[in-house]
Structure 1
Amino acid sequence: MTVPVPVPPSDGERERVAELLQQACGEGRINLEEFSVRVGAVWAAEDAQALARVTEGLAPTPVVGSSRTVEQVVTIFSETKRRGRWRLRSDRLGTYTVFGSAKLDLRDLATGEDVIEITGCCVFGELKIIVPEGVEVDVTGPVVLSSQETRLAPVPRLPGTPEIRIRVHTWFSSLEVRSRPPG
């Protein structure tokens, strides 16, 4: 008796599952971090059963909880922390910090966008942005008497995850971008 050899999923099958995951993320059924992990599993799947397991547990309706829609974060003489479950109104987020501190954790961000653009300025302040591991990040913008540090984990980019473009003007400030595992 011969044992059937499992047939690996085709690229088309993998792309269809990745699109389902992207749609689920855009609808808020999974967050950006979970999306990243599941898309990685899509491309690592060795057979149809492993590919089917990637979509297990996807709720047919959005997850209950705070999913506040945000289009800008303004911090003046204050401190702002945006973490947990949240969504962008579009593919752009404006951030403006003056004599304050802002921390944006994108790991639970719900989005279906291919590119997320974060723009703004930080004057006499501090801006920290946390992204999930395996997401492509591009940091630009003038740094005037400031510090700018990007620390991303040395892991390959997960296919299907969005690119995050950060263009922030920093004047007498600190801009820190780092990746972290789920948490």
Structure 2
Amino acid sequence: MRASDAERERVAETLREAVAEGRLEMAEFEQRLEATYTARTHGELEPLVRDLPAPGAAVAPVGAPVARTGSQKRWTERIGRPATSSGAFAFWGGFGRRGNWTVGRKFTAFAMWGGGEIDLREANFEDREVVIRCITIMGGIQVTVPPELNVEVRGIGVMGGFGERAKDEGIPSPDAPRVRITGFALMGGVGVEHKRSKAERQRLRDAELGRPGSGALGDERGRGRLEKGPDAS
């Protein structure tokens, strides 16, 4: 999503408040401020204030429990939400479902002469059992899932491909939803990739190095993975 001038100014105000409170050093403030005014999208703006409170917002005391969002949540917190999307369509174009969204228990994606992206790494789930149907004709659909998700891939490719590859090693969690990915690819492809998000890989690195801020990994998803090491890419 493209960022507006008003949104850039709100981020700049948050940075000014942070440097006034001593949360940012002047050098870092100047770097972030310059990046704010050159940012073109929300994705470029959001990391600049991710670790800062909004101006005037109440700040939790040091040591207070931190509210988890996205992939920081336990699987039990990510199941049973109302669906925000139950399908996607692309014809001579593309679609994307990523970030903090809730996938319906039955989700159908169609792409013809186009492409689409379905990212479940930060997603919530309407039900513990989810079926994602991917149909593509001379197009492509990429599905990205966290390594701890229980995934079953059953699709057919004709003059094309329908399959999965595991990039990041991980053990499926017994508390995670079960996602069945089915469908049909004609002269196109549907790919399922197991991959952690950048934020998740950074939390794993911090946990291994004993850095502050890694406490959110003290749930069932963090155990049993640190011996394997983070992905180097």
Return the index of the structure with the highest Cα Rg.
2
1:176 aligns with 2:194: no
Which residue does the alignment assign to 1:111?
125
Counterparts of 1:111 and 1:167, CA distance in 2: 17
In structure 1, the gaps of 5 or more residues are 1-28, 43-54, 56-61
Q: Alpha carbon RMSD of aligned pairs, Å?
A: 2.5
Q: How far off its partner does 1:136 sit?
A: 1.6
Structure 1 or 2: more strand by fraction: 1
TM-score normalised by L of structure 1: 0.62
Structure 1 or 2: more helix by fraction: 2
Which residue does the alignment assign to 1:72?
87
Larger CA deviation: 107-116 vs 172-181 = 107-116
1:34 aligns with 2:48: no
**Larger RCO, structure (CA 8 Å, separation 6 or more):** 1
Larger CA deviation: 148-157 vs 99-108 = 148-157
Which residue does the alignment assign to 2:107?
93
Give the number of equivalent residue pairs: 127
Counterparts of 1:176 and 1:118, CA distance in 2: 13
Given candidates 169, 186, 189, the residue that maps to 1:154 is 169
Distance 1:112 1:74, change over 3 A: closer
Q: Does structure 2 conserve the Cα–Cα contact (< 8 Å) formed by 1:75 and 1:100?
A: yes
**Deviating 4+ runs (over 2 angstroms):** none
Give the SS at the match of 2:172: coil
Identity over aligned pairs, percent: 20
In structure 2, the gaps of 5 or more residues are 1-67, 199-233
Counterparts of 2:163 and 2:108, CA distance in 1: 20
Give the SS at the match of 2:89: strand
Larger CA deviation: 160-169 vs 144-153 = 144-153
Q: How far off its partner does 1:91 sit?
A: 0.6
